[in-house]
């Protein structure tokens, strides 16, 4: 069973990618969710509507730093008879009344009401190659928002980013910068907020799963524990195997960015000691 789960975990990344760019998985086709017309499709695409990922269980929106919020929800993949269920996080940043959503997670109606009390959703930002399955929902639900993505990130549904986010270009809000991986085979980035000693926002590149939470199913939680995926500030072999990212990028990250904290798409916030923990991980993962 461990071998099956290990293989499934490898497929999880590819399956998640397929979900994001197609915006629908085989499990979602049978889910009780409604199809909605999306407003910013490529006009040359024959697809005019998609079926959004359902609003799976999630926690409350928490304020981690001033005007920086964090919410944990569920991620589900069904592959070859295995139900892989983990958690994933969305980061919300408020600038005046404008909200920026990073690593989107669809919220329930009650969750959306809580989100709306924080401000107006103005920006949606995709920084991970294997995330984005809920971008279309938010782009449709908040039609005045802008979708930002790294170069070459695409959605097979025809959904198109409104703006490309680049290290040298404009940002959705002040004191924000983008670190773009240069050796990765797929587009991936990390955001840096110049606040509270420096805050990194990552997607899959650096994860901080220090325990398996209530959004995991029992089988997936056990497989994560058994295979050593439960580690602070972790760079997983799955992500490295899919992207072929080299040590040079992480060395550049540590040398060029000052940071104390890490908010990632997977795992709890890593506060005060993020730089030290990431350095330890890089030395462990890249011993040469």
Query: Phi then psi for 5, rounded to 5 degrees?
Result: -65, -40
User: Structure tokens of 5?
Assistant: 């789960």
Q: What is the pLDDT of residue 44?
A: 45
Q: What is the pLDDT of residue 33?
A: 32
288 residues of the chain, pLDDT tens digit each: 442 444 344 444 433 443 333 333 333 333 333 333 444 555 444 334 678 999 999 999 999 999 999 999 999 998 778 899 999 999 999 999 999 999 999 999 999 999 999 999 999 999 999 999 999 999 999 999 999 999 999 887 778 999 999 999 999 999 999 999 999 999 999 999 999 999 999 999 999 999 999 999 999 999 999 999 999 999 999 999 999 999 999 999 999 999 999 999 999 999 999 999 999 999 999 997
**Cα gap 225→212, rounded to integer Å:** 8
Mapped onto helix, strand or coil, the DSSP state of residue 107 is coil
Can you say how many angstroms the Cα of residue 222 is from the centroid of all Cα atoms in its chain? 22
**Cα gap 185→48, rounded to integer Å:** 30
Q: What is the pLDDT of residue 40?
A: 55
Smallest CA-to-CA distance from 281 within 254, 256, 260 is with: 254
Mind listing the domains of the chain with CATH numbers?
2-285 (3.60.15.10)
Q: Which long-range contacts (CB under 8 A, 24 or more apart) does 39-42 make?
A: 39/139, 39/140, 39/143, 40/139, 40/147, 40/159, 40/160, 40/162, 41/157, 41/158, 41/159, 41/160, 42/158, 42/159, 42/160
End-to-end Cα spacing for the chain: 33
CB-based contacts of 182, cutoff 8 Å, min separation 6: 248, 249, 252
Q: What is the pLDDT of residue 288?
A: 79
Task: Let me know: does 203 contact 267? Beta carbons within 8 Å.
Answer: no
Q: What is the pLDDT of residue 45?
A: 43
């Amino acid at each position: 069973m461990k071998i099956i789960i290990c293989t499934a975990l490898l497929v999880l990344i590819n399956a998640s990618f397929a979900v994001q760019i197609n915006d629908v998985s085989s499990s979602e086709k049978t889910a009780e969710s409604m199809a909605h017309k999306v407003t910013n499709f490529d006009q040359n695409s024959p697809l005019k509507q998609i079926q959004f990922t359902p609003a799976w269980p999630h926690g409350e929106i928490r304020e981690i730093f001033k005007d920086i919020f964090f919410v944990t929800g569920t991620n589900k993949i069904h592959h070859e008879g295995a139900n892989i269920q983990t958690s994933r996080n969305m980061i919300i940043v408020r600038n005046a009344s404008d909200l920026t959503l990073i690593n989107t997670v669809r919220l329930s109606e009650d969750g959306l009401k809580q989100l709306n009390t924080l401000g107006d959703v103005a920006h949606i930002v995709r920084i991970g190659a294997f995330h984005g399955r809920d971008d279309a929902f938010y782009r449709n639900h908040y039609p005045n928002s802008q979708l930002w993505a790294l170069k070459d990130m695409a959605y097979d549904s025809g959904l198109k980013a409104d703006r490309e986010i680049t290290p040298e270009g404009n940002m959705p809000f002040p004191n924000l910068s983008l670190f773009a991986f240069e050796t990765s085979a797929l587009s991936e980035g990390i955001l840096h907020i110049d606040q509270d000693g420096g805050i990194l926002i990552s997607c899959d590149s650096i994860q901080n799963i220090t325990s398996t939470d209530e959004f995991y199913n029992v089988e997936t939680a056990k497989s994560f524990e058994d295979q050593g995926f439960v580690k602070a500030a972790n760079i997983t072999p799955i992500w490295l195997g899919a992207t072929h990212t080299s040590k040079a990028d992480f060395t550049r990250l540590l040398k060029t960015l000052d940071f104390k904290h890490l908010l990632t798409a997977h795992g709890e916030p890593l506060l005060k000691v993020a730089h030290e923990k990431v350095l330890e991980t890089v030395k462990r993962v890249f011993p040469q």
